[in-house]
Amino acid sequence: MKDTGFLQDNISVIESLKKLPIISSLEDRHIKGLVKLCKIIEYAPGERIFAEDGFDQHLYILISGKVSVLKNGVEVSALTKPGDIFGEMGIIDAAARSASVFAVDKVSCLKMDASFMDRLKGEEKQTVVCVVNKVFTEMLSDRLRKTTEEFIKAKEELERLKKRG
């Protein structure tokens, strides 16, 4: 794992992040607020990013590479698109990690320390909380849409199999 440290106002990083779909709609001042909570982390192929049943306050935004999400050792998802988010459940409900995540190939991601938000004050805190909530809302909406589509396909297949047998 290679860690950049907290990014602060790194202009080149901010410009790169603007290319990520999940961040592109945000204003520069909001991106700057978000970046203060983040590090860019690189993982080697096969390296564990976090473990199922572990506890931490980090959210990850994929910049490049592919990660595999495993539940009880079984792959339940693979994330490959820049801007894909993982690790959000631990922030939303403060429970143990529901799955493990591993780098499939060389992975670069933005790692956000959500516990840092507690140390922000005033307008800066309000701005960052609003931005994070917007990002979560968009991401959860997208995942719910995909899950609904998968559920409908599974239900249709079940009905088709019932009619055959």
For the segment 131-140, the average pLDDT, to the nearest whole number, is 79
Residue-wise DSSP of the chain = -EEEEE-TT-HHHHHHHTTSHHHHTS-HHHHHHHHTTEEEEEE-TT-EEE-TT----EEEEEEES-EEEEETTEEEEEE-STT-EES-HHHHH----SSEEEESSSEEEEEEEGGGGGG--HHHHHHHHHHHHHHHHHHHHHHHHHHHHHHHHHHHHHHHHHHH-
pLDDT digits (tens, 9 = 90+) for 59-118: 898 989 999 999 999 999 999 988 888 998 877 777 899 999 999 999 999 898 877 777
Q: Residue 66's pLDDT is what?
A: 98
pLDDT digits (tens, 9 = 90+) for 11-50: 677 777 777 776 777 777 777 777 777 888 999 999 999 9
| 157 vs 127, more confident | 157
Domain ranges of the chain: 2-164
2-164 CATH: 2.60.120.10
